[in-house]
Amino acid sequence: MSDERLKSIDEATVEIIKKAEEENISTVFTRADEIKPCPIGVEESCCKICAMGPCRLPRTKKGEQGLRRGVCGATIDTIVARNFARKIAAGAASHSDHAREVVETFIKTARGETQGFAIKDEVKLIEVALDFGIDINEKSIKDIALELGEKALAQFGRQHGEITYIKKAPLRRQEIWRKHDVVPRGIDREVVEIMHRTHMGVDQEYTHIIQQATRCALADGWGGSMISTDLQDIMFGIPVPTPGTINLGVLKEDHVNVVVHGHEPLLPELLVVASRDPEIKRLAEKMGARGINLAGMCCSANEILMRHGIPCAGNFLQQELALVTGAVELMTVDVQCEMQGLQHVAECFHTKLITTSDRAKIAGATHIQFRPENGLDIAKDILKMAIENYPNRRHAINIPSHSQDTVVGFSHETINYILGGLFRASYRPLNDNIMNGRIRGVAGVVGCNNVRTTHDSGHITLIKELIKNDVLVLTTGCAAMACGKAGLLTPEASHTFAGSGLAEVCEAIGIPPVLHLGSCVDNSRILIAATAMVKEGGLGNDLSDLPAAGAAPEWMSEKAIAIGHYFVASGIFTVFGTTWPTLGSDRVTKYLFEDIGEIYKGMWAYEADPEKAAHLMIEHIDRKRKALGLDKARERVLFDMAMRRALD
């Protein structure tokens, strides 16, 4: 096995890593070889929040962790908890600032001040308006949308009370949150309060720091992220099952290739419209290309893949590799998960890197500010720039042949419809199949790629193990794209990879055993789907009663920690892979892995081996089945690792 094969399980990725190495182009894969992670930083045993430090507190010998202190006397527990909380603040801030941009565009759209956007889904507008307590009687769509936009915007700066969407959770869950005083007041307030509390010499009791981190994480999952998903659905349409194609092979040698990368779907939506404009196609042909080929990368890809079937060129670790093909005329980036290394790779080719958000510039890249007021004109200008760049190709083009067909776009609303039908939309069939044991339980597997582990391997190993054991998987983000590339997002995958019970249900309904629910902010769709299962009845009164678990086997971003923590605080057992950012403190780690379960009925776990992680999740699901009295319903036997090895 060559080194490249240890870097990714994806053939297209391996092929282009080799090309980059042969041409001496620095990518995330080569830089990871050059820079080893700091062992003190890995376990978060350092503090640099004041100028008396940095205080590095490496573990010396076992049992000594309680004695380790910084110059100010801060214990290792305080330091690790502060670092953990700051990650959650950054993650929640990222999702929520994305949401704010969406809300502001939504308001401008309601006022008729944007170009190319519309209030597309009036039914969802009404539903969300009712969630916000808006009296819709005798109001026009425009007035309802305006009122909704203003109310949604007020969620960010709210100072007291409770954010609105908390009421969407099961009643039992709301009681738990109120009892433990973690209901978020306003989204921005919770982020600011973490930054204050973790300043030098403020909050220095680790459980108290984690309590605020919990409040902030809930403000993300049941606040910013959920607002973003709902308002995007109203403006761009609720995703429905859509065929798509994924992997670097979607790039086309004889087309002008434009890759749209990042998270906010605002410009990407308009690039889709602009790319279909006959004038743009004519211009591309005039330059000798056969047309424009728009492709997505990371979560922007998920957004336009599930709403428009626009092909996806790859996930997080493939962003630079797309440019190494030599075939990309232009890449747009907005916010989050965009490597600065992109500009270096772009300079090795003819590629233009375009930043489009006033929050994010990259040295050397061209900045074109996206403004919704003339968004369609901006989208067309960007495509024209790409077309003009087509004749500047100066390298041999090397596009891998690999691409995989997928079915994506399973929103909560669609799952409801597919299971129950148009007139009796319902989660009843799902609950019934969990109760009768055909489906063992449900897992949310989400999150990034991390170059410190083999690209896509954690996702695919873990997910295959789950579906083989009859666990239905809901997926988002880069995990979803890994599944797409591995062929798990097709109805046929149930026949090939799923256990007999899950396969029976998937084949009857015609769905894949792994359902693509969208981008990182769309993890809120998983919360809503889980809530719908509770409300349907038969599986307990709370999210923590469900035979369900979560995982992010290849996480790397602070957003992933925020997501994991709102899942845990919502009662879901959640397993992370790669590394775990509290290992410096045994007490904080025990608190998050065990004690917090007493409070929120959900807890964290860390397991770097994805197969073992899958079995932790399955064991948790089985414990929940037993608690619900459903353990007898399954006549199928779970083959654990030892039993399978014995068979081999």
Question: Are the C-beta atoms of residues 622 and 633 closer than 8 Å to each other?
Answer: no
Residue count, binding to ligand SF4 (CB under 6 A):
14
Closest CA to 590 of 153, 210, 123, 311: 210
What is the Cα–Cα distance from 258 to 523, expressed in whole angstroms?
Answer: 27
Pattern 334-353, ligand MSK, x by CB under 6 A: --xx----------------
Secondary structure (3-state) at 518: strand
Residue nearer to ligand SF4 on the CB measure, 79 or 376: 79
User: Binds 557, which of ligand MSK, ligand SF4, none (CB < 5 to 8 A, cut-off by type)?
Assistant: ligand MSK
Q: Does 74 interact with ligand SF4 (rule: CB under 6 A)?
A: yes
Instruction: Give the nearer residue to ligand MSK in terms of CB position, either 248 or 448.
Output: 448
Of the candidate residues 32, 40, 42, 50, the single one contacting ligand SF4 (CB under 6 A): 50
Question: Residue 213 binds which one of ligand MSK, ligand SF4, none, with CB within 5 to 8 A depending on kind?
Answer: none
Binding mask 199-238 for ligand SF4 (x = CB under 6 A): -x--------------------------------------
What are the E-state strand segments in 43-165? Answer: 46-47, 55-56
Of 450 and 544, the one with the shorter C-beta distance to ligand MSK is: 450
Question: Backbone phi, then psi, for 593, in 5-degree steps?
Answer: -85, -25
Which of residues 269 and 536 has its CB atom nearest to ligand MSK in the complex? 269
| Among 17, 49, 480, 605, interactor with ligand SF4 by CB under 6 A | 49
Q: What is the CA radius of gyration of the chain?
A: 24
Cis peptide before 54 (omega within 30 of 0): yes
Evaluate whether 244 touches 305 at the Cβ level (below 8 Å): yes
Residue 608 binds: one of ligand MSK, ligand SF4, none (C-beta under 5 to 8 A by kind): none
The smaller minimum CB distance to ligand MSK, of residues 222 and 316, is found at: 316
State the Cα–Cα distance between residues 231 and 636, nearest whole angstrom: 42
d(CA 555, CA 574): 12
Q: Does 232 bind ligand MSK (CB under 6 A)?
A: no
Q: Of 287-326, which residues contact ligand MSK (CB under 6 A)?
A: 298-299, 316
- State in angstroms the smallest separation of the CB of 77 from ligand SF4: 12
User: Is the distance from CB of 283 to CB of 320 less than 8 angstroms?
Assistant: no
268 binds ligand SF4 (CB under 6 A): no
**Rounded to the nearest 5 degrees, what angle is found at the Cα of 559, between the Cα atoms of 554 and 564?**
70
Reported as type and span, the H/E element at residue 206 is helix 206-219
- 478 interacts with ligand MSK by CB under 6 A: yes
Distance of CA 498 to the CA centre of its chain: 24
For every residue of 134-188, DSSP letters joined together read ---TT--HHHHHHHHHHHHHHHHH--SS--GGGGGS-HHHHHHHHHTT---S-HH
Please give the structure tokens belonging to residue 185: 């007041």
The helix (run of H) or strand (run of E) holding residue 242 is strand 242-246
- Which residue in the set 23, 33, 38, 48 belongs to the binding site for ligand SF4 (CB under 6 A)? 48
Asked whether position 70 contacts ligand SF4 by CB under 6 A, the answer is: yes
CA–CA gap between residue 276 and residue 152 (Å, rounded): 32
Two tokens, residue 407: 């079915």
Q: Of the two residues 48 and 535, which places its CB atom closer to ligand SF4 in the complex?
A: 48
Q: How far is the CB of 172 from ligand MSK (least distance, A)?
A: 30
User: Binding ligand MSK by CB under 6 A: which of 184, 477, 564, 610?
Assistant: 477
The interface with ligand MSK within residues 500-559 (CB under 6 A) comprises: 519-520, 557, 559
Q: 535 contacts which partner out of ligand SF4, ligand MSK, none, CB within 5 to 8 A by kind?
A: none
Min separation Cβ 481 and ligand MSK, Å: 8
Contact 75, 45 (CB under 8 A): no
**Which residues bind to ligand MSK, rule: CB under 6 A?**
263, 298-299, 316, 336-337, 447-448, 477-478, 519-520, 557, 559-560
**Which residues bind to ligand SF4, rule: CB under 6 A?**
47-50, 52-55, 70-72, 74, 79, 200
